[in-house]
Structure 1
């Protein structure tokens, strides 16, 4: 990461960090869909990687603000509807990224900490080129190819078996393979084959492709396999999914086994010792990049020992034992022609730079994020400079191409500033509804206070609700939401589900609109009806509550199972949440008394009078809520805010009255800890805490960070303190590390 970028992240406060995470989540979700589902990328790999990197840096600095519609929690995109769907037996995950040599060193250090290895202990890796293509999983049973599927969203992909059979590098039959073998790798197109394909396309008057990756993805995802057969696709195998028996003991030997079975593996792959060996191999591959004959965008490092890979396990979307070391991105200079303000679904006023279009590495850039008013002024929230000066309309600015979908402005050329350039004055009212736009103490983001009366917030929330990560209503996209809102048909979330009843002849009313017809209208209402039974996790995410992303939605759904149980807990916790807020506000004396009282008013007078009676119950509910692994006080307060009595709660209640959310699938496990809530405290001696947590979750247990009456078991190690004491006080069973290993060993 560049020094400028590091300063930018360090300059963020909690408010601006939350707004930036929200923006990155929305933008990168669209980028995922464009890249993985539609084969029509809206950004380069370097831009995408740097956006995820910035997101991760912010999450590292503000761990309690982590969303899980965050790019760090996403894999691919939901599969298109034109192919059959295939649920992967073993999830197809993405990789974490490294950009600097220091990132590679930290990757190695994290692995050593997890495994409790000394810094100088031998640790072997493999290094291989990261192919810029389309991920594919091939399933063989009894040595015969039975199914091929794209990655999709990591859990469910598209069935492209007929197309995969046309690729020369993919064997139809294997001799000596395990009974069940899922081979995973990358479909790609060489530079020479790409040039020849585009030449044939142009001669035939057909569409040409922008790059080999687009050509490969579009060719594999043809509905007519004969079209795929006519395209020069190749396949490199580099991994595996479900196996009936191990391939080998190391990554290196497993790749050799795949090669013997008849698969192409990358000849540039090498076994490396330690970080120095990895960096030497990175330099060698980067130097040879132009002569490889196919596109790569980095080098992938993997722990070589497969037993260690098993111990390291996975995060929610990435393996701990692998990382992609990406190649550097690019910059360019252009003119800042205007500064516009967008209002998001949480009310954040986000400034956008409108740029004189400039081509940076083949991508035309015309917009860039400006984050907040401090960023425009060129300072952090403490007033410290973050670049050479402020930003003004007409300035010559440097665009950092490895930024976001809307890239960043890295610097400004003050020597080229126009004589009449005026400092930008940030608005203190919402440009969409005219409500005051307030910047609370300690935050750098200014927010519209209009709430649901603000049309920009209202429409943005409706778009979020129907999006693929949430209710996933096919046929009801951004343009349709804007149109139905303008017609007055959909102004609140529940209106989506009463649309047909509202208009009596709902399907006819929609069918009568320009661009619609009987079939499309019928399909829309069928999709709306089907979404009433959407998963609880998606419903929670779709509510648009600040900080509540897809991962947090899954965590909450897994913990509570039903909407009623979730709501009961939140209602019970609200007085304690308000007490927590008052304690925080006590250290902000500069906050106006009226604002403090306004927040206190969220708790009804009845709850205030009953505080003495329900204090213990409220505290227990609050502790349970913030004790859910991945759910902290910041998110819990945001949930309580959204569900406190008022217009937003009324809108949510009306929506849920129309829905019947499905409970999440439970982890199938015969383990004695399946379904139980476990707390680890103290120092573990035979495994790391991270390893213990991974182990427990793999067995179907829930891991919590705090002890409450709902805790089933506390595992203690040397140095266990308040958590062990609380377990004794509450009568919760406690065991030591040996007892834990004996317990799960009997599963």
Structure 2
């Protein structure tokens, strides 16, 4: 395909994909199948790889995520991103209303208060150029690349308005939160406390690929600055933002008296658990923007709005038992089993107690009257014990593994008790489930029930045994039909082709998550190199520290694990990591990137350089070949000039690739 046809096709693909994103993520009305969407996106990625000079800032391919800067640049807010005064009773709402009436005759807008992370989005000529966190209200952090992964944020507006800055609330939908929590529990990681905590942690990831996987969303609720458009009311603002392609507050009815406002606040409160996202209150705002100016603000809050906060729902119940589960890394996790109670719209009867320190701190004993709630209205948790049974004793996690009977250990300052027996049935069961999971080897059809059945029938003892399953033996198992067996064996065979990083993540090395596995394998490229890696080599990998390095050394020092690797090799499982390099045209060249580039982010420029064989450094030295300089290039460009290092523009970089 020539340049002209590629340019035309890229324009068509971007329009198709952007329209699809708007219909799916904003209107909740998908117009094409997931398969078709994936094919269009892949075609666009292929064309942009062939013609990198056609990559634009609003390309949908920017949403998939990539390496972000190790630090987030500071962003001063021209318009302060203030907070609202909280009120907790209807009397306080009436007091607010009386203060407002002294100045104006108000009309109010009432909206659900989404519990998330406030951000600013900036657009120049209708194109998304920068996104930042609220920070302290005056200065935030640049998280543009991570925000681009949120598909309900338009990269290009329906109208090329000269300048627009809007404020929105980034949140994690309940389904996404539950999935992330389960993955963290499966990986023996400390789970997020609530969706807001999860959204904040996800938005500040240094690797935006992780942000993309967290499935964040946003509601836009305010215009901070605008050029080229006059707006007089808040409701008009939301209507206009909706026309531009934003996902705005889910409801914003208007009322002219406080009794009606309170009725709406009650209605929102009654259905708060029906929303697919977390809310912690309702926001009451004066609708007229000129009236807001008349009312003004205090040093801390605007006088034209308040946030009514709903109290958390807490219930008393009786702790019946504490069950102990053994995770894939051997960690013993205690779970409280209590008399069922209704919380946040569902019946709950179990909650994780985390570890012995948590139990000791709250002095939890079987038979206690306890108070439970849902953290973030989603995850059940034990808040405290309020009454002990007579003659009760403090609960202690068993010193012996409930699965294999081996003595457990508590390593160093770690909170978890662990079973270190490599042949522990529970640990093997969970390690195989993890190995087959989507982010690891992605063996479709190998769910918990099948894994347990394969273990019980003595068909597998380790993950490596999966690749030696025989159809004749599987046919002898109960509830295993020939078609399902064929599908399972085909999925296992297909998994042999996975990248090495999938396998390494699937091995379940403690403290080595999906990203750490990718970094490890991209650095060493083969399992033999990984197995033989030394501490001083591991510690040089970006993002690696003492804990991860020692976890890897410890894992591959055990003969049982080396035997599993040998068995996987013999079965034909891929042991190599393919390079993402597309050409070696920049091989041997070291670049430093500084300033703001015309259409590429620094991370996108970094990816292009590395995919074509070059290296990117964070500092200028005599070994630097080129400084890629954009607008407002600072001290790095000055140093380059002093050292005689060649400075190039974005276009000159792209010309090098031709």
Normalization by structure 1: what TM-score? 0.47
Higher helix share: 1
Structure-2 residue corresponding to 1:392 = 365
Structure-1 residue corresponding to 2:398 = 427
Are 1:628 and 2:608 matched, yes or no?
no
Structure-2 residue corresponding to 1:473 = 443
Query: 1:552, CA displacement in angstroms?
Result: 2.1
Are 1:661 and 2:574 matched, yes or no?
yes
Measured at CA, do residues 664 and 291 of structure 1 come closer, stay the same or move farther in structure 2, by a change above 3 Å? farther
Task: Report if the CA contact (8 A) 1:128-1:268 is conserved.
Answer: no
Task: Report if the CA contact (8 A) 1:439-1:447 is conserved.
Answer: yes
Structure-1 residue corresponding to 2:487 = 523
What does 1:216-255 align with in structure 2 at a 5 Å threshold? Answer: none
Measured at CA, do residues 110 and 742 of structure 1 come closer, stay the same or move farther in structure 2, by a change above 3 Å? farther
Task: Report if the CA contact (8 A) 1:259-1:265 is conserved.
Answer: no
Measured at CA, do residues 633 and 487 of structure 1 come closer, stay the same or move farther in structure 2, by a change above 3 Å? same
Query: 1:429, CA displacement in angstroms?
Result: 1.9
Measured at CA, do residues 83 and 125 of structure 1 come closer, stay the same or move farther in structure 2, by a change above 3 Å? closer
Deviations 1:111-166 (A, max 9, x none): 44679xxxxxx99423379797999xxxxxxxxxxxxxxxxxxxxxxxxxxxxxxx
Are 1:338 and 2:321 matched, yes or no?
yes
Measured at CA, do residues 635 and 647 of structure 1 come closer, stay the same or move farther in structure 2, by a change above 3 Å? same
Structure-2 residue corresponding to 1:127 = 168
Structure-1 residue corresponding to 2:359 = 376
1:358 pairs with 334, 341, 345, which one? Answer: 341
Task: Report if the CA contact (8 A) 1:334-1:356 is conserved.
Answer: yes
Structure-2 residue corresponding to 1:449 = 420
Structure-2 residue corresponding to 1:652 = 565
Query: 1:377, CA displacement in angstroms?
Result: 0.7
Task: Report if the CA contact (8 A) 1:672-1:743 is conserved.
Answer: no
Structure-1 residue corresponding to 2:454 = 484
Distance 2:436 2:543 in 1: 25
Measured at CA, do residues 460 and 328 of structure 1 come closer, stay the same or move farther in structure 2, by a change above 3 Å? farther
Task: Report if the CA contact (8 A) 2:609-2:616 is conserved.
Answer: no
Distance 2:117 2:247 in 1: 27
Deviations 1:534-581 (A, max 9, x none): 232321211111111122223334444x4x2x53154141xxx2xxxx
Measured at CA, do residues 657 and 98 of structure 1 come closer, stay the same or move farther in structure 2, by a change above 3 Å? farther
Deviations 1:505-553 (A, max 9, x none): xx23322322122211122211111111123232121111111112222
Are 1:555 and 2:536 matched, yes or no?
no
Query: 1:297, CA displacement in angstroms?
Result: 3.2
Deviations 1:266-289 (A, max 9, x none): 47699xxxxxxxxxxxx9997884
2:474 pairs with 507, 510, 517, which one? Answer: 510
Distance 2:279 2:377 in 1: 22
Which structure ranks higher in relative contact order (CA pairs < 8 Å, sequence separation ≥ 6)? 1
Distance 2:174 2:325 in 1: 34
What does 1:570-609 align with in structure 2 at a 5 Å threshold? Answer: 570-573=531-534, 577=535
Query: 1:430, CA displacement in angstroms?
Result: 1.6
**Which 10-residue stretch deviates more, 285-294 or 659-668?**
285-294
Task: Report if the CA contact (8 A) 2:116-2:172 is conserved.
Answer: no
Structure-1 residue corresponding to 2:383 = 410
Tell me the SS of whatever aligns to 2:518. Answer: helix
Measured at CA, do residues 238 and 132 of structure 1 come closer, stay the same or move farther in structure 2, by a change above 3 Å? same
Please give the root-mean-square deviation of Cα atoms over the aligned residues, in Å: 5.0
Distance 1:133 1:469 in 2: 20
Distance 2:420 2:368 in 1: 32
Distance 2:559 2:500 in 1: 23
Measured at CA, do residues 404 and 369 of structure 1 come closer, stay the same or move farther in structure 2, by a change above 3 Å? farther
Deviations 1:416-451 (A, max 9, x none): 32112111133222222222211123222221121x
Task: Report if the CA contact (8 A) 1:132-1:295 is conserved.
Answer: no
Measured at CA, do residues 647 and 254 of structure 1 come closer, stay the same or move farther in structure 2, by a change above 3 Å? same
Tell me the SS of whatever aligns to 2:322. Answer: strand
Structure 2: 5+ residue runs without aligned partners? 1-32, 42-59, 66-113, 120-131, 145-162, 177-217, 222-228, 230-235, 253-261, 281-308, 628-635
Deviations 1:191-227 (A, max 9, x none): xxxxxxxxxxxxxxxxxxxxxxxxxxxxxxxxxxxxx
Deviations 1:609-637 (A, max 9, x none): xxxxxxxxxx4xx1xx3333333332122
Distance 2:377 2:268 in 1: 25
2:374 pairs with 382, 387, 401, which one? Answer: 401
Query: 1:390, CA displacement in angstroms?
Result: 0.6
Task: Report if the CA contact (8 A) 2:331-2:417 is conserved.
Answer: yes
1:694 pairs with 595, 600, 603, which one? Answer: 603
Measured at CA, do residues 131 and 341 of structure 1 come closer, stay the same or move farther in structure 2, by a change above 3 Å? closer
Task: Report if the CA contact (8 A) 2:440-2:503 is conserved.
Answer: yes
Measured at CA, do residues 287 and 570 of structure 1 come closer, stay the same or move farther in structure 2, by a change above 3 Å? farther
Distance 2:582 2:137 in 1: 32
Distance 1:480 1:677 in 2: 51
Distance 1:677 1:336 in 2: 64
Task: Report if the CA contact (8 A) 1:394-1:417 is conserved.
Answer: yes
Distance 2:170 2:614 in 1: 46
2:243 pairs with 259, 264, 272, which one? Answer: 259
Tell me the SS of whatever aligns to 1:431. Answer: coil
Distance 2:356 2:392 in 1: 17
1:568 pairs with 507, 529, 534, which one? Answer: 529
Task: Report if the CA contact (8 A) 2:174-2:278 is conserved.
Answer: no
Task: Report if the CA contact (8 A) 1:128-1:266 is conserved.
Answer: no
Tell me the SS of whatever aligns to 2:277. Answer: strand
Distance 2:418 2:431 in 1: 15
Task: Report if the CA contact (8 A) 2:269-2:310 is conserved.
Answer: no
Deviations 1:46-94 (A, max 9, x none): xxxxxxxxxxxxxxxxxxxxxxxxxxxxxxxxxxxx9747427336679
Distance 1:345 1:134 in 2: 24
Measured at CA, do residues 511 and 700 of structure 1 come closer, stay the same or move farther in structure 2, by a change above 3 Å? farther
Query: 1:291, CA displacement in angstroms?
Result: 10
1:638 pairs with 544, 551, 556, which one? Answer: 551
Query: 1:353, CA displacement in angstroms?
Result: 1.0
Distance 1:553 1:490 in 2: 25
Deviations 1:371-397 (A, max 9, x none): 11111111xxxxxxxxxx410001122
Task: Report if the CA contact (8 A) 1:369-1:408 is conserved.
Answer: yes
Deviations 1:241-281 (A, max 9, x none): xxxxxxx9xxx999959738xx89647699xxxxxxxxxxx
Normalization by structure 2: what TM-score? 0.53
Measured at CA, do residues 257 and 425 of structure 1 come closer, stay the same or move farther in structure 2, by a change above 3 Å? closer
Measured at CA, do residues 645 and 393 of structure 1 come closer, stay the same or move farther in structure 2, by a change above 3 Å? closer
Structure-2 residue corresponding to 1:106 = 135
Task: Report if the CA contact (8 A) 1:392-1:424 is conserved.
Answer: yes
Distance 1:663 1:491 in 2: 25
